[in-house]
Amino acid sequence: MSGRLVVCPTPIGNLEDVTLRVLSALRDADVVACEDTRRTRVLLDRYGVKAKTVSYHEHNEAARSSELVRRMQEGETVALVSDAGMPLVSDPGFLLVQAAVAAGIGVEVLPGPSAALTALVVSGLPATTWRFVGFLPRKHGELERLLRGATETLVAFESPRRVGAAMAVLAEVDPERPVAVCRELTKVHEEVVRGTAGALAERYATEEPRGEVVVVIGGAPEGEADLAPALDALARLVDAGARARPAAGVVAELTGVSANALYRGLMER
């Protein structure tokens, strides 16, 4: 008889945010696969859950996934948790879910806390169309292209040490772009700083936020976003040896974007 996999989101800060269904699943599981068994044990002990735990993290995902699938095929129920929030969302778990699906094992995902959704809502920015991008790119050019090209609201995790650099790049792209830097969500020192990219770049140039950070960035104006893919195409042509001015004219004819705007954008990179 085949077992099953239950994906269990855990609190992102305040332990009281765990759901009754998650606690029930953890109690009923034969084993709980944890990103960090010590951190998960704090939650389990808080609610008197005597579950067996096993480590499951980025360094042992492949080997542990095979082991856990075998256990589920033998009839065991495995609960998967990460340190905080929903597993797989910038956390380990994809290989295990993928392996369970491939083996025909049932996968149940329970609803619960999510830092990305919490930050999106508290930011006050449009939530009709939005995109989660994991951690922001570290390379200046990749980050700039992402920020220029997104007309939807972006939600991203970021290291507190890199918030200042990310805000500086966004201020270069559009100093008036609305941003919210959400820190330590649901915890005692929760803080949400809202403002323009320019203002936040100035603030975080000298102040390094502490703790877990989620950044929410308003969408680019439509005209600016239309420029991004055309500008990328122009850059590739120039990298291949084309002269900038004539290449800008060709790309302008194909895309309808102003040749002058393309040339200026290329020179500003």
pLDDT of residue 229: 80
Residue 151 and residue 159 in contact, taking contact as beta carbons nearer than 8 Å: no
Structure tokens at 110: 């329970």
Contact, 213 vs 161, CB < 8 A? no
Residue 182 predicted with pLDDT over 90: yes
Assign residue 186 a region (left: φ > 0; alpha: ψ between -120 and 50; beta: otherwise).
left
Q: What is the arithmetic mean of pLDDT over 81-110?
A: 96
223 confidence band (pLDDT: 50, 70, 90): low
pLDDT of residue 85: 95
Residue 268: the pLDDT is: 76
Rounded to an integer, what distance in angstroms lies between the CA atom of residue 206 and that of residue 243?
Answer: 41
182 beta partners: 192, 214
Please state which of the ranges 93-102, 121-130, 229-238, 251-260 shows the lowest mean pLDDT: 251-260
**Per-residue confidence band for 78, with pLDDT thresholds at 50, 70 and 90:** very high
Please indicate whether residue 226 or residue 134 has the higher confidence score (pLDDT): 134
Residue 1: per-residue pLDDT: 58
Q: Is 184 left (phi over 0), alpha (psi -120 to 50) or beta?
A: left
Q: What percent of the chain has pLDDT over 70?
A: 98
